[in-house]
Each structure stands twice: as C-alpha cells, then as structure tokens.
Amino acid sequence: MSSLVNNREEARPVSTNTYFLGIVKQVLSGDTIMVRDRPINGPPPERTIILSNISCGRVARKPSTGVPTGTSEDPFAWEAREFVRTLLIGKEVCYSIETEQPSGRKYGCVYVGKNISGENVALSLVEQGLAEVRKLNPTVAAKNKVYQQLVTAQEQAKSLGKGRWSPNPPVTREILWSVENIRSFFESYKNRPLKAVVENVRDGCSVQVFILPESLNERPNTFVYLTVTMSGIKCPSIRYEDGKIVPDAWGLDALFFTESRLLQRDVTILLESVFNQTFVGSILHPNGNIAELLLRHGLAHCIDWNLNLVSVPGAAEAYKIAERFAKEKRLRVFENYQPTQTAEVHSDSLPTVVPGKIFSGVICEVGNGDNVSIKCSDGVHKFFLSSIRAPRPQSNNKEDDSSAQRGRIRPLYDIPYVFEAREVLRQFIGKQVTAHVDYIQPKTPNTVDERVCATVRADDVNLALALVSKGLASVVRYRNTNDSRSVFYGELLAAEENAQSKGLGMYSKQDAPIHRVADLTGNVAKSRQFLSFLQRAERLDGVVEFVFSASRFRIYIPRETCVITLLLGGIQCPRRGRIGPDGVALPDMPFSNEAYMFVKELCMQRNVEIKVEAMDRVGNFVGYLYMDIPNLSSNEPDINKSSGKKKKKKSTETNVKQKTNLSVLLISQGFGTVHRAPTTERSPHYHDMLKAEEDAKINRCGLWSSDQFVKEWEAEVQNNSDPTVSSGAEDGSLVPLAGLSEYLDDLSELQIDEDGDLKTVINDENIKQLSWKPVQITGISRPSGSQGLRFFAQHLSDACTLVKISQMLNSQSFPSFPSEYCPKKGSLCIACFSLDNCWYRARVIRSSPKSVTVQFIDFGNEEVIDAAEYSSRLSPLPPGSLMQLPPQVKEYRLAFVQLPPDTSDRMFAERAFCDLVENKELRLAVVYESVPCGNESLKPVPAVTLVLPVADHKTSGSSVCPNDIDISESLLSNGLVCVEPIQPQLLKRLPRNLLHKYLDAQALAKKERKNIWRYGDFRTDVEQL
C-alpha cells in the first residue's frame, strides 16, 4: 500500500497526517475494514484499518480447530457490520493511519469518497448508536476535534435511544454454522431463490454465504452458513499446504475476480444439487451471472457432466458461448488452447476398442451389478457401466475374520443390494443393445486388467441410469474434473439424488434385504437334507448361475433358497479340456467347446425349470432342465413333440409355448448321446431322447459327423459294459448313477455259471497271469470322495533311480527362492522336507497367498510350506534329466476291497494296514485297471492284490508262496473292511478266484461280529443313502 504521493490520485492533506486511497474489499466488523489498492497485473496488496476512538463489538465467528465452539456475538455487532458493509463495500474510500501498534494493528479514520470531505464512517456509526466512543485522556481529548465530534454524536444518540442506547433488550443472531441433514435441507429449498450475503470466497467458483432469515423457514433471526459451489463450471483450484497457499495457474486471478465482485455482496442463491456434502448451485447478482463472466475472461472452463444441473433458463448455453469466446481469444487458462480436429470415424474401421467406438449386439451375461457381456459380430466383449459403482460391503464388517471366512464370501448374496442390481440387469439378457465406449480405466491394484467403460442402452433405457434411479448403484465422484466419465454423468447424479430423496434401494432407512442362500455345492450332508424336498416337487423354478459344461450347471432355486450343482440326466456329453490329477493337460474332446458355447448362450443366467431325480456321492444332483428355446430353425427336429397318440393333439396347440428338455435338445443337435442305463430307461423322456438321437444320426449332426465316433459308439453300445459310463458325465471319471453297483455276499446271487467261468479264468491262456513285483509302501492316499483303500508304492526295481535323484538334488546347492518365481498349482518344483532337510522333487497341489501344499512325486506324501519359508525350502525344478524322469511312486488300491463309511472305522482300518506293510518288502500284482471302487466318482487307479512274504519262505520277486499273507484277506477277516459293491456286467470280465477267498473271509468276520460288523450289516443303510 502506498501513500498518495506515490499513488495514482492525491488527497488534500489535512494537518500532518498522510492520507491514502483504496477500495473496500471486506468489512470484518463495524470498526474493522479491509482495504485494497487497484489491481495492476494481478491481485493487489491489502491493508486492514481499525477505526480510531470507537468500538462496535465482536461479530460471531464460526467454530475452528483452535476454537471448536466458535465465538459468540456482541449485541448490535452484526447491525454495525451491516451498516458499514452497505455503506462501503466495493467503494473507493480515503483513509489515514494515525497510530500503529507493535502488534501490527493500524488505527485511523475512513472517509467515503476520494477525500476527507466525505462521510466519516466512525461518526456515522456513533450517530446511529451502533458504536461506543472510547474514553481518552482529557488533555488529549480536548485537543482532538474529531474526538469531540464523536462524543457529541454519542450524547445525541443516547438522548434519542438509538441502537445500543435503546431501552429495549438487545437481540442477537442465531447462527446455524453447519446443516446436519444436508439432503433434507436441499430438498426443502431446491431451486428456491435464497437471499444471501457472501462471507468468504474460497476459490474462483466456491463461496461461503449467510442465508438471510427472510428466505428460510427456520426460526426468526436465524442465519444459515453454507458453502456453495457454482454449477456447470470449474476454476483453477487453490490448495493450502503447511499453512501456505499453493494455487494452480491463474488460481489467484480467478479468486480475485470473484472476490472483487461477490465478496460481501447481496446475492441470490439457487441450490441445484449436493456434491460431497457441498451444495452446488447458481449465484445470481443484480449485475449478472458471475459464472458466465469467469468463463468469458478465461478464468474457468465448463464441466459438461455438470451443465445439466444449471437451472437458470438459457444459462447453460450462455456458458458454452462464453467458454468458446475465451478459447478463441486464448485467454488465461486457454492460453495454450489448440482446437481438436473432430472427424467422424465409423466404429467398424477401428481395429481395437477405443473411446468413442460403438458396439451393437446382444447381452449374453451380466456381472454383479456393474458390468455386462455383449455378443457382437466380432466376438464377446465385456463392458463396465460408466461412472457407476455396484453396492459395496458394509463398513462395519469385522476385520478379525479369518482368511478362510473371507474366502467364502459370495458377493451376489452376501453384499446388500448386489442381488437386486444383478436382477435388474438380468432382465436385459438376450436383448439387442448398443454400447458407446466412454473411456478405458487403467489397471489398478484392485483389478485384474484394464476396464472398458461404456454407456449401454437397450432401446431408450440406459442401464446405468436404471440401476442408479432404483438406488442399486452409486455414482462415482471424480477428484479431477478432467477425468473421463459417462456422457450422461449429470443425469446419473440427478437420478442418484432422486433415489436418495425417496429412500430407494441403498438409501432406504429400512434394513437391507438379507439373502440367506444355502450353498449345497460339494456339501454331501447338506445336499442329503435338501434331496427329499427337491425330489417331491414336480418342477422347480431356478436361475442358471453358472455353466461348467454342456451338462453341468450351478442353479439357484428361489423357492428353497439354495444353490445346487445339477448334472443333466440321461445324457453323455463330450469332455472339455482340463488339467488332470497328475498335472497333465487333457485335450478337448471333439465338439466339447461347441456344445459348451451352445448351452451357455441358451442358459446362462436364464430362468429355467428343473426336476431333480437323484443325488450322487459327492453332493451333485442329477435331473432334467427345462427352458424356453427361442428361434429354432425349421430343419431342426421338433424336440417338443413326444411319442405316442398325443402328437395330433399337441400339434393343434400352437398358442401354448412349452418348455424344452435340454437333454433332448443337446442330443438332437449331436452334442451328446443317450446314456443307456436302467435309471435312464425308466425316465419319461427316454423315448424322446432315443428319437432325438436317431434324428441326429440321420442328419449327421455334431458328433455323428465323425465316422470314428460312430464306430466307437456302436462298439460301446454293443458291449454295453463300460463301468465308468455315468449320467450327466463328460467322461468316464464323473459320477455313476446310484444303484449300478451292488453289495454281495455270495457269487451265486449274480446267477453266474461259476464253474464254467472260473475254469475259464484259470485255464484260458488269453487271461493274463498275475505278475508279482517287489514294492515298498510309502504312504496312504486319501483323496476326497474315495471309497477304496488307496496307497502309494515304490517298485524296488527303481531303487537305483531313487538314489540317483537324491544324489543329484542334495549334492549341489540350489539358488534361493527367486523373487519372480510364483508356485502355481500343478507346477513341478523341488522342496526341502522338514524332517530330514533334504531336497526332493515335488508338485504344487494347492496354493494360497500364505502357503503352498506340495506332494513329493517320488514318495507320495504331502507337506505345507509357509510363504515365509519359500526362500529356504522351495525352488523351481532345474531343467534336464530331473525334469524328464517320471515319478518314482505310483498310486494303487486294494482290489475288491472297500473302506467302511464311518470315519473312525476308516482310520482304524488304515492304521491296521500301515502296521501290516510299514517298512516291509511286499509283493504286488495288478488284478484290473480303470475300474472305480464301488460307486465312487474319482479317477480310478489300478486295483491290486498285495501279499507279505513269510519270513521263512522268501521267494523271488516274480512269484509268491501259498503261505504268504494276503493283506486284503487279513483286513477282511478282522472285520476292518468289506468287499466292495460290484456291477454284475463288470464281474464277467474280472478274475473271480480272489473274490471267492475274500467273500469267505468277510463272511467269517460278519458271523463273529468283528469291528465294522459289531452292530450287524451296515451295508443296507448305505444302499438306502
């Protein structure tokens, strides 16, 4: 601030005082005024003047960090401030500085106008009774003429009872510094003109105001303090770091522009929205719209997604025109503006997915509330709905949940409103839509890859808008106004506000809906509890949640509030490629992918009906699935027709749409064959399936187009004795139908010519004689679902190879765990065994972020290695001979033997087996291969007989003695195991000389009620289950 000598205009000097000119920027209180110079190349300097010789009291101040309760207001302090504000704000004044205290406070006189002939502000305050004259030393007071005028004016005010001298009690303001329910306040005053005074300017487009009582429905004399951001525009921001102002380019200029025109001016506020607990609206001044002026001077830019909020008629278009003017002139924030070359580009010419590209197709799958998959002409594309976020878990979830519990979370059912959001999107499956790519979201730590975000529309329905308007999704708030977003962002915000005001969905005051859905997949006990309910129902409505293969589905059943795995009954479908138990990739069978894609497009997330017939041993349900099939071509067989006399009647019912049996449909398309089994033959759909199969053969559809498949199928049907064929199976390793294998106590029950068959078995040279090999048992194998007694064995003929492998692994040092090495399930590695600290070859069979479980492929045992021990106990398998050598241990099971169902009995039997074979050399011979034990669903392993040579009669490895101990016979005679259930057709192909001996041993243990027979024959209960 400079004196008049150095300023632009001179004031007439009075006495020895120096006078200054300035413009009143702000009135802090009745006796404190902030004055600034005229701006030159930027915001000007400022000076605060306190009026000499008077006091007006303190104006209330809002709560702050240092003063959490704020400061109270003195009587008549607000009236004094308003008097001075109305008199001086924005006007030029002449002022003097009479004294300056060491603290920096400056005291002086302020006159309205360019010289001291103008109105004395202090004198006017005293005359109105709004200020009190300070008492001075009588000697000093007598010499000060201005002071004498103040004293005289105060006496007159007292005599007239003005202001603070009034006999009436003073009334101070009631101030609401913060609004508790911002949403309710907004709804009460939305788009209503509110008279206000601007108290502070935070940046070029954000101000803090006092809403005056005459505009409010509150109590009389109540002022409301609000922060309001201008709608439709954005100015350069101003940040505060360590108490210092850090503005963006042109930020201070925008601040000064708004301050010089709005600070402490009377304005009209139109509240138009709420954003991050801040009100958004238009600020109107008698001289014009400040937002338009900021744009025209290049101190702000338009926000396209926010322009829709502007409620002033014609203002949004005026904003765009003003911004265009500033861009053309390259003013301030647009100084480096370069117009973009906008050329219309057809989407077909774009080789990749880029913003602006438009896709058309049919929705084939929807995600959990925020994404859809669209089948387009060039394939299936996944799109996330722009600028919205699906419902999230509640913040009060317990953080101390174990990782296992967190691993079982099912977002669709466990997170409130995700299921409802998915159901809204599911209504659009199969409908034609267009997707306009808005932006591509880069990969983040929480996402697997980058996300293509688009606005998806089905006819006139915006999917994102449909979710937000129902309160089933929230709108993303962007920190940076330049961030890409939906072109309908403004409409999304408006829809969200409407949903909040109506209390819809996530914004409802009621408790969120809870979906207690029982997941029966893989849970045998729970599945058994639900089986009777599912079987009694004629047909159950369901939703296909997932398609595993052409004949395997995950179904959600609303009526029973459960999720099941359903295997299609009566059909065999080709197997898809997968990783086998030994880590070897199994290839796709012919037409497996075609069948899978055909079924997925028809069924995925569609409403269906199911009929449950049975349950397998691992908790999967077997039955039939019915659904509506759209647009079947005329050359396809009429799969809705049934055989018999009802054909003519059904042909006349053209208006009745019947649901199609998916098993029949797949067979008619050549994507499966009829499973010929007693349960299938009893099915009411058996004849329909046979007819569909015959039609597919004639038309050479799918599998029937392969001559090799036809030959294999004809041979299999003719033999009709493959024990591994199963209902709903993709290959022989899946689940057989219940009831195919039966327990027996005597071979005469099967009506087999034992003498002839046994003689054939013993004397026929074509039957392979048992080949005995010396082995050593290394451990028990307990895969889930196993019914047989499985174990690992090393052939003693491979002992040299085992020693060689051990020497190669432990005679050299291996590099520590590489940081880039990631132990994946199925990968080969070397691991250090904890009991002897030696290295062995291993395969990763389970992997988690905290540990891996490895199986030592030369011994069969398993061990868990924590992530903290990776560097010392885990390393990649080095290339070379170690990689090429096959595993030196093999998995077998005892032939004709089954473990008891009771867990404790199983453990006792396994312990007895270990006591018989541990650290002993035994003889092993394979009896038969590729036959599962009983009705188990696991991949079968070779079934063997195992004998322990008698110490006094050691024989060579290729033969055994009659006195040798048969391990299976020993376990059976002690009532520790039982003879497995066997299919009659299978038994014709197997050697039965061992079975005679085993049945006799079992009969003896059963008669003496040993161990598992102590309560009688338990097998009847097992068969019923």
Band (pLDDT 50/70/90 cuts) for residue 532 is confident
Do 223 and 297 fall within a single domain? yes
| Cα separation, 238 vs 744, whole angstroms | 88
Residues 298 and 194 in one domain: yes
Report whether 946 contacts 967 (CB < 8 A).
Answer: yes
User: How much is the pLDDT for 1001?
Assistant: 93
What pLDDT, on a 0 to 100 scale, did the predictor assign at position 747? 67
CA atoms within 13 A on the CB side of 37: 17
Using an 8 Å Cβ cutoff, are 825 and 844 in contact?
A: yes
CATH of the domain at 839: 2.30.30.140
Confidence check: pLDDT of 721 > 80: no
| pLDDT score for 138 | 82
Over 70: is that where the pLDDT of 512 sits? yes
252-264 pLDDT, tens digit per residue, is 999 999 999 999 9
Amino acid letter at 818? P
Give the separation between CA 412 and CA 670, rounded to whole angstroms: 35
Which of 703, 719, 735 is the last residue before a domain boundary?
A: 719
Find the mean pLDDT for residues 913-940.
84
CA 527 distance to own-chain centroid: 28
What per-residue confidence (pLDDT) applies to 664? Answer: 94
| Alpha-carbon torsion (623, 627, 633, 637), positive or negative | positive
Output 151 or 412, whichever has higher pLDDT. Answer: 151
Per-residue pLDDT band for 449 (boundaries 50, 70, 90) equals: confident
Average model confidence (pLDDT) across the chain:
82
Q: Given a cut of 60, is residue 749 above it in pLDDT?
A: no
Tell me the pLDDT tens digit for each residue of 178-201: 998 888 898 889 989 999 999 999
626 and 662 inside one domain: yes
pLDDT at 718: 66
Query: Which two tokens mark 618?
Result: 């691992």
Number of structural domains, the chain? 6
User: Is the Cβ–Cβ distance between 581 and 734 less than 8 Å?
Assistant: no
Whether residues 1016 and 899 fall in one domain? yes
C-alpha span between 262 and 657 (Å, rounded): 70
Question: Residue 993's pLDDT is what?
Answer: 76
User: What pLDDT is stored for residue 954 in this prediction?
Assistant: 56
Q: Are 305 and 486 in contact (CB under 8 A)?
A: yes
Quick one: 711 and 763 in the same domain?
no
Most confident of 248-257, 492-501, 577-586, 881-890: 248-257
Can you spell out the DSSP letters for 215-247?
A: G-SSSTTEEEEEEEEETTEEPPPEEEETTEEEE
**Mean pLDDT score, 9-18:** 46
Query: pLDDT (tens digit, 9 = 90+) per residue, 620-653?
Result: 999 999 998 865 443 343 434 333 333 333 333 3
Lowest mean pLDDT among 3-7, 787-791, 867-871: 3-7
Residue 883 falls within a domain, yes or no? no
In 422-460 the beta strands, taken as DSSP E runs, fall at 432-441, 451-458
Q: Which residues pair with 968 in a beta bridge?
A: none
Residue 247, pLDDT above cutoff 70:
yes
- Cβ neighbors of 502 (< 8 A, separation 6 or more) are 471
Contacts of residue 1014, defined as CB under 8 A and 6 or more positions apart, other chains included, come to: 975
Tell me which residue of 626, 619, 623 sits closest to 530, measured CA to CA: 619
Are 201 and 254 found together in one domain? yes
The answer as to whether 149 is a domain residue is yes
Q: Evaluate whether residue 294 is within a structural domain.
A: yes
The confidence band for 77, taking pLDDT boundaries of 50, 70 and 90, is very high
Residues 821 and 910 in one domain: no
Lowest-pLDDT range of 11-15, 29-33, 227-231:
11-15
Give the mean pLDDT of 591-602.
Answer: 92
| 429 token code pair | 């499956």
Average pLDDT over residues 853-876: 88
Contacts of residue 764, defined as CB under 8 A and 6 or more positions apart, other chains included, come to: none
Q: What confidence tier does 656 reach under pLDDT thresholds 50, 70, 90? A: very low
Looking at 379-462, list the stretches that DSSP marks H as alpha helix, in order from N- to C-terminal side: 403-407, 411-414, 418-426
Alpha-carbon distances of 204 from 36, 161, 194, 246, rounded to whole Å: 18, 44, 21, 14
pTM recorded for the entire structure: 0.50
Residue 12 lies in a domain: no
Q: Which is higher by pLDDT, 910 or 868?
A: 910
What local confidence, expressed as pLDDT, does residue 646 receive? 38
Q: Which residue has the tokens 């050299």?
A: 812
- DSSP conformation class of 332: G
- Tell me: pLDDT of 657 over 70: no
975 neighbors 1011 (Cβ within 8 angstroms): yes
Helix (H) or strand (E) holding 613: strand 607-615
Name the percent of the chain lying above pLDDT 90: 41
Q: State the pLDDT at residue 734.
A: 30
Diameter of the chain measured on Cα atoms: 147
Residue 78 domain-assigned? yes
708: domain range? 518-643+657-719
Residue position matching structure tokens 């509110």: 194
For residue 244, the model assigns a pLDDT of 84
Beta bridge partner(s), residue 425: none
Phi-psi region of 165 (alpha: psi -120 to 50; beta: other; left: phi over 0): alpha
The mean pLDDT value for 666-672 works out to 93
What distance in Å separates the CA atoms of residue 393 and residue 400, rounded to the nearest whole number?
Answer: 15
* Torsions phi, psi for 116 (to 5 deg): -80, 0
The pLDDT-based confidence of 161 (bands split at 50, 70, 90) is: very high
Query: Coil, strand, or helix at residue 289?
Result: strand
Tell me whether residue 958 is exposed, middle or buried, using C-beta atoms within 10 angstroms of its C-beta: 0 to 12, 13 to 18, 19 or more.
Answer: exposed
Cα distance between residue 496 and residue 459, in whole Å: 22
Q: Looking at residues 706-720, what average pLDDT do you find?
A: 79
**Cα dihedral sign for 133, 136, 140, 141?**
positive
Contact 758, 602 (CB under 8 A): no
Distance of alpha carbon 904 from alpha carbon 333, whole angstroms:
80
**Residues 422, 301: one domain?**
no
In a domain, 805, yes or no: no
Nearest one of 463, 565, 567 to 523, comparing CA atoms: 565
Lookup: tokens for 562:
């459960």
Q: What local confidence, expressed as pLDDT, does residue 93 receive?
A: 94
pLDDT confidence of 989, banded at 50, 70, 90?
Answer: low
Sequence-separated (6 or more) residues with CB below 8 Å from residue 247: 236, 237, 238, 239, 255
Question: Which residue reads 């139109």 in tokens?
Answer: 270
CA distance 900 to 898: 7
The confidence score (pLDDT) of residue 644 equals 38
* Location of structure tokens 């004709």: 896
Q: How far apart are CA 370 and CA 936, in angstroms?
A: 41
Spatial distance between the Cα atoms of 104 and 100, rounded to a whole number of angstroms: 6
Contacts 24+ apart (CB under 8 A), 832-840: 832/872, 832/873, 832/874, 833/863, 834/863, 834/873, 838/806, 838/809, 838/810, 839/809, 839/810, 839/814, 840/806, 840/809
Rounded Cα gap, residues 394 and 411, in angstroms: 12
d(CA 969, CA 125): 117
Give dist(CA 733, CA 182) in Å, integer: 63
364 and 223 co-located in one domain: no
Q: Residue 251 maps to which CATH number?
A: 2.40.50.90
Q: In this model, does residue 925 exceed pLDDT 60?
A: yes
Give the up-direction half-sphere exposure of residue 55: CA atoms within 13 A in the CB hemisphere. 9
Tell the residue number behind the tokens 């830019």, with chain if given.
301
Token pair of 908 as six digits = 């006792």
726 pLDDT higher than 70: no
Supply the pLDDT for residue 42. 74
301's tokens: 């830019």
> Which residue would you say has higher pLDDT here, 737 or 624?
624
Burial of 569 (0-12, 13-18, 19+ CB in 10 A): buried
Minimal CA–CA distance to 122: which of 164, 153, 145? 153
Among 55, 51, 34, CA closest to 108:
51
Same domain, 872 and 899: no
Confidence class for position 810, pLDDT limits 50, 70, 90 = confident
Question: Which residue would you say has higher pLDDT here, 682 or 590?
Answer: 590
Same domain, 575 and 498: no
Nearest to 246 by CA among 235, 256, 257, 236: 236
Residue 247 lies in a domain: yes
- Give the pLDDT band of residue 15 (cuts 50, 70, 90): very low
pLDDT in tens, 946-962: 999 886 555 555 667 87
Report pLDDT for 346. Answer: 39
Q: Where residue 5 falls among pLDDT bands split at 50, 70, 90?
A: very low
Distance of CA 764 to CAs 752, 756, 761, Å? 17, 11, 6
Please, are residues 925 and 958 in contact by the beta-carbon 8 Å criterion? no
Residue 803 belongs to a domain: no
Whether 622 and 713 share a structural domain: yes
- Asked whether the beta carbons of 541 and 555 are under 8 A apart, the reply is no
Q: Collapsing DSSP states into helix, strand and coil, what is residue 564? A: strand
- Cβ-Cβ contacts under 8 Å for 535 (sequence gap 6 or more): 612, 613, 614
